[in-house]
Amino acid sequence: MSPRIRSISARGLATIVSSALELDPFRGAIIIFHSKRAARLKLLLWDGTGTVPVQKRLKGKGFVWPAVRQGAVQMTYTQFEALFEGLDRRRITAGRQIRRSL
């Protein structure tokens, strides 16, 4: 996140999302910006009544960011939760299923 992104208001971030990414920030998506070294995240979300900016910084490590191919990445809510908690989503695996006999 450049110093410029850090200081931009929620309204300014919404404008960037609309013009640069051609996305509507008021349609329920959570828009995430990250710093150059991915130590900080800045989120922009619409809660139905207004834009909500959220900022998070991890102590001692950076967020594990997925590869970006076209300026934006789509992820599931579970992937977002892992990212926000600082987990490496590439190392998260589904639990083993246990079959119960009847």
The answer as to whether 101 is a domain residue is no
In a domain, 18, yes or no: yes
Report yes or no on 41 lying in a domain. yes
Residue 67 falls within a domain, yes or no?
yes
Only one residue has tokens 């987990």, namely 87
**Residue 59 domain-assigned?**
yes
Which of the 8 DSSP states describes residue 89?
A: G
Across-strand partners of 43? Answer: 32, 54
Which residue range(s) make up the domain with 47?
Answer: 3-89
* Residue 28 burial (CB count, 10 A): 10
CA distance 72 to 44: 14
Query: Residue 41: helix, strand or coil by DSSP?
Result: strand
| pLDDT value for 5 | 58
Residue 50 located in a structural domain:
yes
Confidence of residue 18 (pLDDT cuts 50, 70, 90): confident
With respect to residue 95, please indicate whether it lies within any of the assigned structural domains.
Answer: no
Q: Does the predicted model carry a pTM greater than 0.75?
A: no
The answer for residues whose C-beta is within 8 angstroms of residue 43's C-beta and 6 or more apart is: 30, 31, 32, 33, 52, 53, 54, 55, 56
Split into its structural domains, the chain has a count of 1
Of 74, 55, 48, nearest to 8 (Cα)? 55
Q: Average pLDDT for residues 35-56, to the nearest whole number? A: 84
In a domain, 98, yes or no: no
